A and B are shown apart, each in its own frame.
Chain A
Amino acid sequence: MLLRHTNANVTERQALTINPAKTCQPVGAMYAALGIHKCMPHSHGSQGCCAYHRSSLTRHYKDPVIATTSSFTEGASVFGGQANMLEAISNIFAVYDPEVIAIHTTCLSEVIGDDLVQIIKKAQDEGKIPKGRRVIHSSTPSFKGSHVTGYSNMVASMVQYFSENTGKKLKQVNLIPGFVEPSDMAEIKRIANEMGVKHVLFPDTSEVVNGPMDGKYHMYPKGGATVEQIKSAGDSQFSLALGRTGAMAAAKLLDTKCKVPCEILDLPIGLRATDEFIDNLRKIAGVHVPESLSVERGQVVDVMTDMQQYFYGKKVALVGDPDQLVSLAQFLTDLDMKVLYVVTGTKAGPKFDRRIKEVAGEHVVVKSGQQSDMFYFHQLIKGEKPDIIFGNTYAKYIARDEDIPLIRVGFPIYDRVGHQYMPLVGYRGAMRLLEKILTVILDRQDRDAPEESFELVM
């Protein structure tokens, strides 16, 4: 057994996290920053953080992930990181020529109390930032929140630094996705385009970390939201935040800073969350939903009804990030599946627990925050065994030990491709999920059925 020391006997832990169901803020901030066009993410801390985050994102996307670091040594840690940061800014503009440097802090620079606002101002005053170029920052200490919080903070910083209410109202809607894949961001744009709704989507990592292979390396690929676009978000009619933990902060800030009203929706994963997104967008923009989207929706419902017998009553266990978990729990419940456990290391608060129980039933065991980890998740699974696990790549150790199929969702996915290119959001995403779920259920049935009841048609 790979996880041979795990048993079903759950004991309370107060200090030790085992096999975390979250990681730290900076990786989320780095990912979000990649969603700005021509941006160099910068990690203000010792260089190991940056190496770990780049490695992690690269393994997940199998595409180049760039980011620079302040490379703190012991001296910088004692005397402050200002000198390193200023040198880094000069070097980055000289060697890599980005439009934007998006700095995120680390536990190290937060503990020593580096004041990034002051450092950026100093760089500006000393002429280290070329004309028209921008340096922004986000405070993302690893001892608070999780990778989702880091993402959320960096997106809010984009608003803080770029968005402006210039007084003219633009006929556009802001779409702020939570921590989702580039394929999901592209799909959200496609849906809005299909509806004819002019929009600004940020951050936008599509065609950044899922770029094509064309024989050339592009340090700054085509994708990413431009500074102009993010700036114009302050003049938009409305913002839709897709995911409470990942996208709410930026939308709220647009409201307070630029007076752009907002609505916080669930991530549009699954049928009903997608319905809600499209219905809201329709009402805000005053448009009709085109037939093409109704057809896509109808196809999803078609598969749900056609194959209902296979979904019904199947037990599922979910580990991952709050926004995905809420929408997944709802979709799986809509499929007549029974959600047993929902675990996330991200501190999601009592609202999250309530919401999960609201969509999936009072029976669900929900745990979030400290020590809500995969060790605990595994212990629950050993108690009552689900038919399917939903989680990131690390859940495969549990899946193998317990002989339960795993459907990979969330971050990180180190061992499969697909998430970069094919969405989970929207009706197309729902269809992809249905296919994944049916495949694991029917493959199991094919594998385990007695020979006489091995079915040709299913």
Chain B
Amino acid sequence: MTKFTNVNPEEVKAEILKKYPSKVARKRAKQIVINKVEDGDVVPEILANSRTVPGILTMRGCSYAGCKGVVLGPTRDILQITHGPIGCGFYSWLTRRNQTRPESDKDENFMTYAMSTDLQEDEVIFGGEKKLKKAIEEAVELFHPRAIGIFSTCPVGLIGDDVHAVSREMEAKFPDINIFGFSCEGYKGVSQSAGHHVANNKVFTDVVGLMDTPKDGKFRLNILGEYNIGGDAFEIDRITQKCGLTVHSTFSGNSTYDEFASSHTADLNVVMCHRSINYLAEMMEKKYGIPWFKVNFIGANASAKSLRKIGEYFGDKELRDTIEKVIAEEMVEVEKVRLDVLSRTQGKTAMLFVGGSRAHHYQELFAEIGMETLSAGYEFAHRDDYEGRKVIPNIVIDADTRNIEELTVEADDSRYAPRKSPEEMERMKSAGYKFEDYDGMMPEMKEGTLIIDDLNHYEAEILIEKYKPDIFCAGIKEKYVVQKMGIPLKQLHSYDYSGPYAGFQGAINFYKEIDRMVNSNVFKLAKAPWQESPELAASYAWTK
């Protein structure tokens, strides 16, 4: 029970587990946790990143979706070829709303093109490498790209096509083009998360570090794990620029190949979506000496906090002053809208089940307009995203995780350059400044809230029935199920085709959007007058 509800979470959990066959119930019992925050932000252990129960209506997707769809998809000038039957390439075609803005009409933009080898039965039987090579040749002929990524689908791994060997061979044939393959077959791992890792690895080994040209600017950083859905990265670019910061490269919203290739020249990596990209941040620190920390540009206060932390990192007085000025300036409009919306949203409740960081980040925005999160969980996150990175040493590595390559990274001979001296880092850390940090979702959630990993359809129905939240946040597959029950659902993958929600302007957009959703009239119209009061007065029954 929390301030906003008198529902007993233990009872809800019991109710959920009741219907499951015992094996399923045992597993789900570990994935449904009642939150409790003890000293040192110690929270109960949750089972995460574990196999989806077969036959359960799950929200989850696959490794290919995580690799091609999430991490590489937003890059506009790496030509992407899906190697496999037609479906995967088709479904990942423009559906994630990653916006991009080429600098001129002449600049490359391949994002509107879905390319596939469209493997046929014969090729599945006799091997698809020949067709892949031919497809690459045809793509080169038509598009003249500087880089080509090949993405493996399920059958590719099983029939033994070696996309890496093909990439090398074709690169030898076209020496001006960087060609690399991803082993992101859909069956790898247990969710999209495996694909994120595969994508991080390949981008790190085959792209990052290829160009040593830094961008101009005094305070240069990369933003990792920001995919520019609905224009979020544009808003982050706007405010960082206003502060005098230079975003060298965003991984991977509105990004280019060159920006990736030279990203190691920046002096700081900040991480938005911890789940999808922490690997790259860690590897870049080891190889190039670039420190990283977690930021959050979802929420006006969170954005301000993140900007201040970046300012503090660079330590420049003028920069920090500008940041304060920008925050003060931006917050005027934010506060005006926030207070107006707050008068209509205060005390309302939300549930968030999405992604690997959004279910956490968006709680900030709801809190800003007085809305409490009753229950939340991720679709594909790991324990550290729930409990904080402090639990990483205790995470048991299972077979599914072991199947994803873990790279051994060493400091680059010539280019490793710690951006801050060990003493400086120590000094900052002891003053409470956190690097390589993510405290996770649970320590920031209220006691008694229900944390549910890999929530499924049936459990969502029970949650809604018991808690009757004012808004539910998930994805497209869940949207109309929940809305049929008369509760608005905000899609936090696609933003329901609006946005941006990041930064200050984004916060304003989100406040207004939630105001619209929780106070809309349309959901009240589900019943016709004769359904509201079906009784007939005798005097009206004249048709007999």
Contacts and interface: CB of A to CB of B under 8 A. Distances in A.
A217 B486 CA distance: 9
B476 interface: yes
B113 A112 contact: no
Interface string B229-267: 000000000000000000000000000000000000000
B83 to A, nearest CB: 10
B68 to A, nearest CB: 10
Contacts of A70: 54-55
A58 B477 contact: yes
A256 interface: no
A242 interface: no
A75 interface: yes
Contact of B113 (A5, A72, A73, A84): A5
A143 B155 contact: yes
Contacts of B61: 47-48, 51-52
B116 A3 contact: no
B481 A217 contact: yes
Given A46-B62, A52-B87, A215-B485, A2 B112 contact: yes
A14 interface: yes
Contact of B87 (A42, A66, A68, A142): A142
B114 A23 contact: no
Interface residues of B, number: 90
A46 B24 CA distance: 19
A65 B457 CA distance: 11
B142 A48 contact: no
A277 B20 CA distance: 49
A124 interface: no
B150 to A, nearest CB: 12
Contacts of B115: 16-18
Most chain A CB inside 10 Å of its own CB: which residue of B58, B93, B527: B58
Contacts of B484: 64, 211, 213-218
Given A58-B477, A107-B124, A16 B62 contact: no
Contacts, number: 260
B535 to A, nearest CB: 19
Contact of A143 (B24, B89, B123, B403): B123
Interface string A1-31: 1111100000101111111101110110000
A49 interface: yes
Nearest to A101: B55
B154 A107 contact: yes
Contact of B81 (A16, A67, A76): A16
Contacts of B502: none
A71 B105 contact: no
Interface stretch (A92-100, A243-251, A293-301, A381-389): A92-100
A58 B476 contact: yes
A20 B90 contact: yes
B53 A345 contact: no
A375 interface: yes
Interface string B69-84: 0000000000001001
A66 B57 contact: yes
Contacts of B137: 15
A306 interface: no
A61 to B, nearest CB: 8
B143 A5 contact: yes
Interface of B: 19-21, 24, 51-65, 81, 84-95, 105, 108-110, 112-121, 123-124, 131-135, 137-139, 141-143, 153-155, 157-159, 186-191, 399-400, 403, 457-458, 461, 475-477, 479-486, 526-527
Given A45-B186, A51-B65, A107-B84, 20 more contacts: A5-B113, A15-B137, A19-B93, A24-B87, A26-B87, A48-B88, A51-B59, A52-B92, A55-B477, A64-B481, A68-B55, A74-B187, A74-B400, A87-B53, A88-B54, A90-B55, A107-B119, A215-B526, A216-B484, A217-B481
Q: Which 9 A-B pairs give the minimum distances between C-beta atoms? A: A48-B62, A24-B87, A88-B55, A91-B55, A142-B85, A15-B134, A52-B91, A215-B526, A51-B61
28 contacts: A1-B105, A5-B108, A5-B110, A20-B116, A24-B87, A47-B186, A52-B88, A55-B95, A58-B476, A62-B480, A66-B57, A74-B187, A77-B187, A88-B54, A91-B24, A91-B54, A92-B55, A94-B20, A94-B21, A95-B56, A107-B119, A107-B124, A142-B85, A142-B86, A142-B87, A143-B120, A394-B94, A397-B112
